[in-house]
Amino acid sequence: MVLLLGPADGTEKMRTYVWSDGGEGEQSVRLRIIDRLLIPYETLGLARRLLTNSIGWSSVARIDLLRAHSQDIVDALLGFARGPEEGRQEEEFGAKMLSATQKDQIDMLLNSAPLEDEDPEGHRDFLKNVCRARLTAVSTVLALADSVLPLARDERPVDREGREAPGVEEVEHAASRDHSSSAAKEQLQLSNIAFAATVFAGHHAKFDKLGVSSGANTVMVAALKYAASGYTVGIYDIDVHFAGGSQDIAFRWNKNNSENDSKNNASGPRRGKVYLSDVYAAFFDKTVMGVRDIARHERAVKFGSASRQAGRELDGHLFFDHWPEDFTDEALTSNTHDTITHFRDTLKVDIVFVFLGLDAAKGDLFSAQVTPRGFEAACALLREQLSGASIPCVFALGGGYRVTPEAGCEDTDDVGTTSVFGKCIQGALKGLCTATAC
């Protein structure tokens, strides 16, 4: 078994759509660090790139985006990504963006974008690249997921509320649920673990509202594609911030499908559910206009108070309650074990998506205490337990902001591998693909 990686051409593919001046300049640095650290694993045959031409911002199917996001959000993201040079009226899509999310939501997506009134052309190009980067991340996760658990092509239309349109024949439904198909079996024998080295996977983005530095919610777009085909999906979020966007989309999807099952007496094709496990559910990101402030989240979930117990289950979702400074290697390992057990034995999920946030690292911005060994142990546990149960898993890169080499290493060519982020992603990669495991 090998670790499957995407995009195929790594840094260069993403750098095309990742800004370096203003905004989150650490993005291109993060990708260079990952590329450098992957060399020994690829040399030993423990990891390989996903060789496909299907990865790219323009390859994302509109139907996939519409399951997770409103039509206004999707129109805006696609419109800004295309830009006026492709015959699109950008102002039309900009108006939809403003009406759907309000101006402060755009500011959160752009974080510290060039001011539009000072440099309107630069602002449009900046926004185009931001949206393309987010859509490229979606395309990458979708391609990796399809490589570890292939799906039949799904062309069902979706209404404006993000629900599957009723009365549509689903002739491919049975084929997409055939876990014993030769294609799926062949892929799983090769690899059932994949890692998407992209920009932030956007777990703050809700169905009808963007979040800080979040365009499309990459993981939820992929998760709902599988749920629409009848799979039960688990999402494990270990980023230091509360995955409020993922929670919103998951609750909405499960509620809509439960209501549809009741109306149809469960006679139609089965829709899978999506379950979220969040180790920082007691916290939320109050980022507005690029200013970060982590505060106590009084109601960690839509229903129910935020207790100080180690973890709690709500409608199948698993929420853990941690202050960042109390979140140690031991806590991460314990929560990971509980999550895997819950997903595998209770919910019997078919595929797991992991939002791998390295901003939970000791020495990053948010006072969490996870070390490189902690990330290694958690990722190794995920790999061993999920692979042992033949459950495919796709990791999507989340936060992680300390990318500057440590003092004394600035004159080396390590591109940041000695930084907090570099050491922690190295630990994660070691846990995902070791000589004994592969």
Q: For 222-280, give the secondary structure using H, E and C.
A: HHHHHHHCCCCEEEEECCCCCCHHHHHHHHHHHHHHHHHHHHCCCCCCCCCCEEEEECC
Residue by residue, DSSP assigns 363-379 as TSTT---B-HHHHHHHH
**Angle (deg, nearest 10), helices 90-101 and 71-82:** 140
Place of tokens 């089965």: 270
State the DSSP code for 149: S
Domains of the chain and any CATH numbers: 3-432 (3.40.800.20)
CA distance 132 to 136: 6
Phi-psi region of 202 (alpha: psi -120 to 50; beta: other; left: phi over 0): left
What is the C-alpha to C-alpha distance for residues 70 and 4, in angstroms, rounded to an integer?
A: 31
On the CB side of 427, how many CA atoms lie within 13 Å of its CA?
Answer: 22
What pLDDT is stored for residue 27 in this prediction?
Answer: 67
Provide CB contacts within 8 A for 377, sequence distance 6+: 329, 332, 333, 431
Q: Whose CA is closest to 162, among 90, 227, 94?
A: 227
pLDDT in the model for residue 294: 36
291 DSSP β-pair partners: 288
pLDDT at 265: 53
CB 331 within 8 A of CB 374: no
10-residue stretch averages of pLDDT, the chain, 438 residues long: 62 45 56 85 84 76 94 83 59 47 50 49 70 85 91 48 37 34 42 83 81 80 96 93 84 83 57 89 42 35 39 72 79 93 94 93 85 96 93 91 72 74 94 65
Instruction: State the Cα angle at 370 between 10 and 436, rounded to 5°.
Output: 60
Count CB-CB contacts under 10 A for residue 267.
7
Asked if the peptide bond before residue 405 counts as cis, ω within 30 degrees of 0, the response is no
Cα separation, 330 vs 342, in Å, equals 18
H runs (alpha helix) in 165-243: 173-176, 182-190, 218-228
Report yes or no: 135 and 79 within 8 Å, Cβ to Cβ.
no
Positive/negative CA dihedral, 179, 250, 140, 424: negative
CB 201 within 8 Å of CB 141: yes
Q: How many helices (H) and strands (E) does the chain have?
A: 14, 11
Distance CA 170, CA 173 (A): 5
The C-alpha torsion from 117 through 120 and 125 to 129, rounded to 10°, is 20
C-alpha to C-alpha distance for 50 and 42, rounded to whole angstroms: 12
What is the C-alpha to C-alpha distance for residues 212 and 201, in angstroms, rounded to an integer?
A: 11
Residue 48: beta bridge partners? 4
Per-residue pLDDT, 244? 80
Residue 285: its H or E element = strand 283-285
Instruction: Look up residue 131 and give its amino acid.
Output: C
User: Which residues are 211's β-sheet partners?
Assistant: 214
103 φ, ψ (degrees, to nearest 5): -65, -35
